[in-house]
Chains A and B, each alone.
Chain A
Amino acid sequence: AQKITQTQPGMFVQEKEAVTLDCTYDTSDPSYGLFWYKQPSSGEMIFLIYQGSYDQQNATEGRYSLNFQKARKSANLVISASQLGDSAMYFCAMREYLDTGRRALTFGSGTRLQVQP
């Protein structure tokens, strides 16, 4: 079974509008963390935002917020007031802490976001 599922291979959004990128995850580990990364066409991976499984509030970082619905196992990224520079691939990733002991991230297949002027 896929650990991280991103069902939107591509998304379009108009500049200045908000957009939601979907991410669902699968784990039996009670303690885990969820990360979103941005990968522009230049290839570097840029950390955007983190949500811990025990965090009571949704994480926010500037224009980025994470809509965390634990019971549904979803961790959608919301980008407000989209900018042309937001055009990139976006990856959702998970780190499970207790079950596997692994500290590496498991990544989804990504969503390509294109912001239109």
Chain B
Amino acid sequence: GAGVSQSPSNKVTEKGKDVELRCDPISGHTALYWYRQRLGQGLEFLIYFQGNSAPDKSGLPSDRFSAERTGESVSTLTIQRTQQEDSAVYLCASSESTGADGNQPQHFGDGTRLSIL
């Protein structure tokens, strides 16, 4: 498909386990974003990748969270030693290069619903 693809769509795991979430952006989109959405709330920014530049990690809530992206392709978000407060929907978005104008909309995937037991 032509959209942002995320996997798995749902993940249930026990507290303390590590989880890895995957995002496959729209082909040609150089910018990639991860957000977290807790139940009934808006989206919280986690991390942003733009091409080969250093990622903006300012939204990561703790050092248990990390993300990688190779070039302009797939990204993985890893949460180590999961806690119950990590339960949320994790949304990935991509956009065309964000230059000085920055008006390119972000296109979102369907998200990964993470439940920590």
Q: Which residues of chain A are near B101, meaning CB under 8 Å?
A: 52
Task: From B21-29, B65-73, B75-83, B107-115, give the one contacting chain A.
Answer: B107-115
Asked if A105 and B43 sit within 8 Å, CB to CB, the answer is yes
**A49 → B minimal CB distance (Å):** 9
Q: Which residues of chain B are near A110, meaning CB under 8 Å?
A: 41-42
Asked if B102 and A107 sit within 8 Å, CB to CB, the answer is no
- Interface range for B: 20 to 34
A16–B31 alpha-carbon span in the complex (Å): 38
The closest CB in chain B to the CB of A51 belongs to B103
Asked if A50 and B103 sit within 8 Å, CB to CB, the answer is yes
Asked if A45 and B42 sit within 8 Å, CB to CB, the answer is no
The closest CB in chain A to the CB of B101 belongs to A52
Asked if A108 and B42 sit within 8 Å, CB to CB, the answer is yes
Q: Which residues of chain B are near A104, meaning CB under 8 Å?
A: 33, 35, 45, 48, 56, 59
A50 in complex: contacting residue of B100, B105, B108, CB < 8 Å:
B105
The closest CB in chain A to the CB of B41 belongs to A109
Asked if A103 and B42 sit within 8 Å, CB to CB, the answer is no
**B102 → A minimal CB distance (Å):** 5
Q: Which residues of chain B are near A50, meaning CB under 8 Å?
A: 103, 105
Supply 7 further A-B pairs (C-beta < 8 A) apart from A47-B105, A93-B43, A104-B33: A43-B110, A44-B109, A45-B108, A103-B48, A104-B35, A105-B33, A105-B43
Binding site for A on B (CB under 8 A): 31, 33, 35, 41-45, 48, 50, 56, 58-59, 89, 91, 93, 98, 100-103, 105-111
